[in-house]
A = this chain, B = another copy of it.
Amino acid sequence: MDGGPAREQRVTKQRLAVGAALEKIDDFVSTQELYRLLHNDGVSVSLATSYRILQSMADDGLVDVLRNAEGEAVYRRCSVASHHHHLLCRSCGKAVEIQAPAVESWAASTAQAHGFTQVQHTVEIYGLCPECSAAGRT
Contact = CB atoms under 8 A, between A and B. Distances in A.
Interface string A109-130: 0110011111111111111111
Taking the full assembly, how many copies of this chain does it contain? 2
A100 B69 CA distance: 21
Chain A interface size band reads 35 or more
A6 to B, nearest CB: 15
A37 interface: no
Nearest to A112: B127
A118 B128 contact: yes
A128 B120 CA distance: 10
A-B CB proximity, top 7 nearest: A115-B130, A116-B127, A119-B127, A71-B71, A121-B125, A117-B133, A67-B67
